Amino acid sequence: MSAHFAPARRRALQQSLLAWFALRARALPWRRRRTPYRVWLSEIMLQQTRVDQAIGYFARFLKRFPSIRALAEAPLGDVLKAWEGLGYYTRARHLHAAARRIMAEHGGRFPRDPAAIRALPGVGPYTAAAIGSLAFGHDAAALDGNVMRVLARLTAFTGDIAKPGARAALQELADALLPRGAAGAFNEGLMELGATVCTPRRPACDVCPWSRWCAARAEGDPTSYPRKSRKQPVPHKHVGAGVVVDARGRYLIAQRKESSMLGGLWEFPGGTQEAGESIEACIARELREELGIEVEVGERLVTVPHAFSHFTMDLHAHRCRLRRGRPRAIHCADWRWARLDEMAHFAFGRADRKIIEFLRAKTRVK
Ligand code: SF4
């Protein structure tokens, strides 16, 4: 792959990108006062979150957990609460676990060694390279979706980037392009180029620092790169949630087991509808299995559509009345009776927060 770049061209690509980035870099909060902790946190947040959304969360998270020690010493529930609304909560659990490991194994200092960075929970090859280059000046090329797209266009790369072989080839390309000693700025510049100029649908080739060397532009249709095989359609599920209210107007909420998806978050108890089952029967069964209670399932309150990366769902919330039993944490980590004004103390996923919003709006209307 390095055959793609004769030394003079490689230098021209490096210099033009670095010069462009020096002029055009957006003033993002994590680019100020760069510490390993800030770099790490921003990289984890940006894995699945847009820059504009991450900015507010980044500031609030740092205010709440100003150091690795503060993060490690906080209960997981507080970390999930600070992450609430960002989605992909495994990231928050991994951050917390990694902070604890840094305290236990690295004396509270973020590790410098590439292998030790890579060994932290939630840190894959891309994130390790990004942290290593940005925080410690390691010569490591960080390859994310943005970078793959830019490199695929630059070289009119015809491999299917959904396949590991093509990714390995692009990684080789990124390694070959990396200017030794300036990897951080180069990685960041390349990510910036992908995010702001070489965008998926409308690449702004006229203002691109690489336009004169870009093979996809020369061919006339940059958006035909990168080549990617079609994804399998994601399955759709119907999920029932029981909104159980007691005589004092409190709602029954349950905490998901840590090992499960959205682990550690709170929810209105329920689960996935099985074949041939009505949503009402599903809710009654789930509450029996999860909390050991018998409920009468009443009217539907709201249906919340929601998309995860690997499936979509309709979450059907029904009002329920407790008929028999006292809740026990059988297939959940914990449970509580909580008033609507107490819900803010618990971390919920986005779909369950929509149910809370619905209940709040309904209460205001009354
Ligand atoms: S010239 Fe166009 S297609 Fe090529 S890297 Fe730049 S923005 Fe992307």
2 CA distance to ligand 1 centroid (A)?
Answer: 19
R_g over Cα of the chain: 24
Q: What pLDDT was estimated at residue 366?
A: 58
Alpha-carbon span 105 to 188, nearest angstrom: 29
Pocket-testing residue among 17, 154, 191, 219, ligand 1, by greatest number of atoms within 8 A of Cβ: 154
**CB environment 230-243: b (16+ within 10 A), e (fewer):** eeeeeeeeebbbbb
Q: What pLDDT was estimated at residue 1?
A: 44
User: What pLDDT, in 10s, does the model give residues 32-82?
Assistant: 999 999 999 999 999 888 999 999 999 999 999 999 999 999 999 999 999
Residues of the chain with pLDDT under 70: 1-4, 365-366
192 CA distance to ligand 1 centroid (A)?
Answer: 12
Q: What pLDDT was estimated at residue 100?
A: 98
What the chain holds in terms of domains, given with CATH numbers, is 2-224 (1.10.340.30), 236-365 (3.90.79.10)
Evaluate whether 108 touches 69 at the Cβ level (below 8 Å).
yes
Q: Measured from the CB, is residue 205 less than 6 Å from ligand 1? A: yes
List of residues 6+ apart from 48 with CB closer than 8 A: 87, 88, 91
Q: Measured from the CB, is residue 74 less than 6 Å from ligand 1? A: no
Residue located via tokens 């070489």: 198
Q: What pLDDT was estimated at residue 258?
A: 85
Q: What pLDDT was estimated at residue 2?
A: 44
Percent of the chain with pLDDT over 90: 90
Alpha-carbon span 291 to 334, nearest angstrom: 9
pTM of the model: 0.81
